[in-house]
């Protein structure tokens, strides 16, 4: 029998008989490892443990529940069991998609005339666990296109038939588990018995394949785990996440609101504007020091600009249009075309480059009403945008400086767990291959020079250039994609941007797009949930609340307020005729960092009694001592740590 060579993760090489399975390889290493394994990565592809291997392996990794790919496989198989449980009670239901997602899985289902509600969750969960405990295996079967069509014609399902029509013959597989058969490319877990807990989370409407002209299906979200304990921990995490919902916190802290007069358009209140302005001023100071120039481009520009930029052809359905003087205009969905106009108002030499423009640009994009989600998905938002025009030789150093800047800013907000992805040239691209290779090499070199670990998203770059994406984990371990750095060869070409090279020839600059926070709206939503509303001291809308015990001490309280405001602290006095305990409780609810309590003793001794949000009494001290303490606390709050 022929043998194959397997390069193990520790770079040692082993030989096995041709036709060996990943499970047999795992067992040869350790019985315990074989028992824990869910699937395997073989030469870059995730496959089942029982799939036979016929050729040498240059990349081999056994996957467990602790691996992202392992969880994805676990949840993929769980989606099949969920579908089987649904069909048990609703045999006429037609299935659409059922993929794993970042946390759990979903299945899109057409229930026809029947109605599926939350009251059905419990019976579906019970059936799911019954099926899982029976020990279903997932059997892969390759079928011809004709066989697949005949199956879903006989077991009528127009959604699966549509998918099959787009597949090539020879690349179609079914998976069978228990009494359930599904069109699926896999992979799956070896046995359903390892699934011990499940929870259906919620329902949503979802257009088939995400297109509004298609029928709306019922999307059933769920999650499963290998143990009941892990499910309980997850449900506790969900409960905590609900407490931190930025929409709830935004209302409690009087920062922003949404109204039916403008769905998807946030209304910013005074407290929210303070946070927004402080964020912008924070970034503005950093960027000025780094040689950036601030610009502001018009909100509305004629449609010729958007045709030239390519947005009209590729993004028209997400744009808002209006007519001025019988000519069509568009409300800008992005800032970059306007920035190119600013660049071309001057002649540029290679000696002038790089030119770094930043813009806190207000943009509008049409989102489907069902996709709107507080500040996370809105129709009007402000980007912390910047565009750098440079020579190809500048690219690596500019990228390196951006990487340092992005990590520095994230650290300020307590985002210390950052993952980085490099997206490379897609199948369809513009520009010369040599420029792409040089650009990708520059991005890789910058990341390596900065000693940043990164993963490659092969072929996932934009058609106009490769990019780097930055994803942070918040205090609840959730992931948020915030920053991005993109190289663009398209827009300088489309708009005829040039600079004079060292030989007097006209050359095309490289355009670097970058955002750090993404949008101020979404970032504020993320930050509120990350901090549970306890914002860093420098960013708090109200930093100090003065609480006079009675009306007798109002004048003294006002004198203290004026003195603190002279130091640019944000201060308010609670002059309500309420008991001091009520005033303290209300200030705690509003998450005011410091409370100054004024009574007879404090006024007579020219002191203040200090309380700190969450920590309680800080003792008595003079106003000058407090001012010094507060300034020090402000400095420290720029290296924010979540609790």
Residue ranges and CATH numbers for the domains of the chain are 3-64 (3.10.20.30), 69-243 (3.30.980.10), 265-297+335-531 (3.30.930.10), 299-332 (no CATH), 537-636 (3.40.50.800)
Name 624's Cβ contacts closer than 8 Å, sequence gap at least 6. none
Q: At CB < 8 A and 24+ separation, what contacts does 63-70 make?
A: 63/37, 63/38, 63/39, 64/36, 64/37, 64/38, 65/36, 65/38, 65/226, 67/38, 69/39, 69/41, 70/38, 70/39
The phi and psi torsions of 487 (rounded to 5 degrees) equal: -90, 135
Residues paired with residue 573 on neighbouring β-strands, in sequence order: 546
The pair phi, psi for residue 2, each rounded to 5°, is -70, 155
- The residue whose two tokens read 């018009």 is 298
pLDDT at 44 over 90: no
CA distances in angstroms from 470 to 112, 192, 531, listed in the order given: 42, 35, 20
For 255, residues 6+ apart whose C-beta sits below 8 A from its C-beta are: 249, 268, 269, 271, 272, 275, 524, 541
Q: Report the DSSP beta bridge partners of residue 611.
A: 595, 617
Token pair for 54: 């016929």
- Tell me phi and psi for residue 367, to 5 degrees: -110, 145
| pLDDT in the model for residue 9 | 87
Give the whole-number percent of the chain exceeding pLDDT 90.
82
Region 172-201: mean pLDDT is 95
What is the spatial distance between Cα 625 and Cα 441, in angstroms, rounded to a whole number? 54
Record the tokens describing residue 532, joined without a space.
């549970």
**What's phi and psi for 324, nearest 5 deg?**
-130, 125
Q: Which residues contact 553 (CB under 8 A, 6 or more apart)?
A: 598, 599, 600, 602, 603
pLDDT at 548 over 50: yes
Q: Is the pLDDT of residue 296 over 50?
A: yes
Alpha-carbon distance of 159 to 214, in angstroms, equals 11
Only one residue has tokens 């496989």, namely 73
Rounded to the nearest angstrom, the gap between the alpha carbon of residue 209 and the centroid of all alpha carbons in its chain is 21
Distance CA 65, CA 254 (A): 42
Contacts of 101 (CB under 8 A, 6+ apart): 75
Distance of alpha carbon 556 from alpha carbon 575, whole angstroms: 12
Q: Is residue 474's pLDDT more than 60?
A: yes
> Distance between CA atoms of 540 and 175, rounded to whole angstroms?
54
Q: What is the CA angle 408-422-42, rounded to 5?
A: 130
Tell me what pLDDT residue 642 has.
52
3 state DSSP class of 467: strand
Segment 218-233, tens digit of pLDDT: 999 999 999 999 999 9
CB 478 within 8 A of CB 472: no
Residues annotated as part of the active site: 336, 365, 383, 385, 387, 467, 513
pLDDT for residue 310:
82
What was the pLDDT predicted at 142?
A: 93
Residues 534-567 as b/e (b if ≥16 CB within 10 A, e otherwise) read: bbbbbbbbbbbbbbbbeeebeebbeebbeebeee
What lies within 8 Å, CB to CB, of 381 at 6+ separation is: 266, 362, 363, 519, 520, 521, 522
Q: What pLDDT is attached to residue 643?
A: 42
Structure token pair of residue 366: 């049409």
Cβ-contact 193, 138 below 8 angstroms? no
The whole-number pLDDT of residue 313 equals 81
Q: Is residue 344 packed enough to be buried (19+ CB in 10 Å), middle (13-18) or exposed (0-12)?
A: middle
Average pLDDT rounded to a whole number, residues 484-510: 92
Across the chain, mean pLDDT equals 93
Strand 510-519 with 479-488, pairing: antiparallel
- Say if residues 188 and 40 touch (Cβ distance below 8 Å): no
Q: What is the DSSP string of 31-79?
A: HHHHHH--EEEETTEEE-TT-EE-S-BS-EEEE-TTSHHHHHHHHHHHH
d(CA 155, CA 109): 15
Contacts of 535 (CB under 8 A, 6+ apart): 275, 527, 528, 541, 591
> Is residue 273 over pLDDT 50?
yes
Q: How confident is the model over 608-628, as a mean pLDDT? A: 94
Two tokens, residue 284: 């503005």
- DSSP three-state, residue 143: strand
Span 32-45, average pLDDT: 93
Cβ count near 210 (within 10 Å): 10
Higher pLDDT, 2 or 274: 274
For 402-446, write each residue's pLDDT tens digit.
Answer: 999 999 999 999 999 999 999 998 887 777 788 788 888 889 999
Query: Mean pLDDT across the stretch 453-463?
Result: 86
CA neighbor of 254 nearest in space, from 228, 232, 235, 272: 272
Quick check: 189 pLDDT over 70?
Answer: yes
């Amino acid at each position: 029998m022929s043998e194959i060579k397997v390069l193990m993760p520790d770079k040692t090489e082993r030989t096995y008989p041709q036709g060996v399975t990943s499970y047999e390889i795992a067992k040869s290493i350790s019985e315990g490892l074989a028992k824990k394994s869910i699937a395997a990565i073989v030469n870059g592809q995730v496959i089942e443990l029982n799939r036979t291997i016929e050729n040498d392996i240059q990349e081999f990794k056994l996957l467990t529940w602790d691996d992202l790919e392992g969880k994805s496989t676990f949840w993929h198989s769980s989606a099949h069991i969920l579908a089987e449980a649904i069909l048990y009670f609703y045999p006429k239901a037609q299935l659409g998609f059922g993929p794993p997602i970042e946390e759990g899985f979903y299945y899109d289902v057409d229930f026809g005339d029947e109605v599926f509600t939350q009251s059905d969750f419990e019976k579906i969960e019970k059936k799911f666990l019954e099926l899982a405990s029976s020990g279903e295996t997932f059997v892969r079967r390759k079928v011809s296109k004709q066989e697949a069509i005949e199956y879903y014609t006989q077991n009528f399902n127009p959604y699966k038939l549509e998918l099959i029509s787009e597949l090539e013959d020879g690349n179609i597989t079914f998976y069978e588990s228990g009494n359930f058969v599904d069109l699926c490319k896999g992979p799956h877990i070896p046995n359903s018995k390892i699934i011990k807990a499940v929870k259906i989370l919620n329902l949503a409407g979802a257009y088939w394949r995400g297109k509004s002209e298609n029928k709306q299906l019922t999307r059933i979200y769920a999650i499963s785990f290998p143990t009941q304990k892990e499910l309980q921990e997850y449900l506790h995490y969900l409960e905590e996440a609900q407490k931190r919902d930025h929409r709830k916190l935004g209302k409690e802290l009087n920062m922003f609101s949404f109204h039916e007069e403008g769905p998807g358009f946030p209304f910013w209140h005074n407290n929210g504007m303070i946070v927004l302005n402080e964020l912008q001023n924070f970034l503005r100071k950093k960027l000025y020091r780094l040689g950036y120039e601030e610009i502001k481009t018009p909100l509305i520009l004629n449609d010729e600009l958007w045709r030239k930029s390519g947005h009209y052809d590729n993004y028209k359905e997400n744009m808002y249009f209006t007519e001025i003087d019988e000519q069509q205009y568009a409300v800008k969905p992005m800032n970059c075309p306007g920035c190119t106009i600013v660049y071309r108002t001057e002649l540029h030499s290679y000696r002038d480059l790089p030119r770094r423009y930043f813009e806190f640009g207000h943009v509008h994009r049409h989102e489907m009403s069902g996709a709107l989600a507080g500040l996370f998905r809105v129709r009007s938002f402000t980007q912390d945008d910047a565009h750098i025009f440079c020579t190809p030789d500048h690219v690596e150093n500019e990228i390196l400086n951006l990487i340092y800047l992005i990590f520095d800013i994230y650290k300020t907000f307590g985002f210390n767990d950052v993952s980085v992805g490099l997206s490379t040239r897609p199948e369809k691209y513009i520009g010369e291959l040599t420029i792409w290779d040089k650009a990708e090499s520059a991005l890789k070199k910058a990341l390596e020079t900065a000693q940043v670990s990164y993963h490659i998203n092969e072929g996932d770059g934009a058609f106009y250039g490769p990019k780097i994406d930055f994803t942070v984990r918040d205090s609840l371990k959730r992931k948020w994609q915030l920053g991005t750095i993109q190289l663009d060869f398209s827009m300088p070409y489309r708009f005829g941007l040039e600079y004079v090279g060292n030989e007097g020839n006209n050359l095309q600059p490289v355009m670097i797009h970058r955002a750090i926070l993404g949008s101020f709206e979404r970032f504020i939503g993320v930050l509120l949930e990350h901090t549970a509303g306890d914002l860093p001291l420098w960013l708090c809308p109200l930093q100090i609340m003065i609480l006079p015990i009675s009306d007798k001490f109002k004048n003294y309280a006002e004198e203290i307020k004026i003195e603190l405001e002279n130091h640019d602290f944000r201060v308010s006095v609670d002059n309500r005729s309420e008991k001091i305990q009520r005033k303290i409780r209300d200030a705690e609810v509003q998450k005011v960092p410091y409370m100054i309590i004024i009574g007879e003793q404090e006024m007579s001794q020219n002191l203040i009694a200090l309380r700190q949000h969450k920590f309680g009494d800080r003792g008595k001290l003079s106003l000058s001592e407090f001012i010094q303490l507060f300034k020090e606390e402000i400095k420290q709050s720029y290296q924010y740590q979540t609790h």
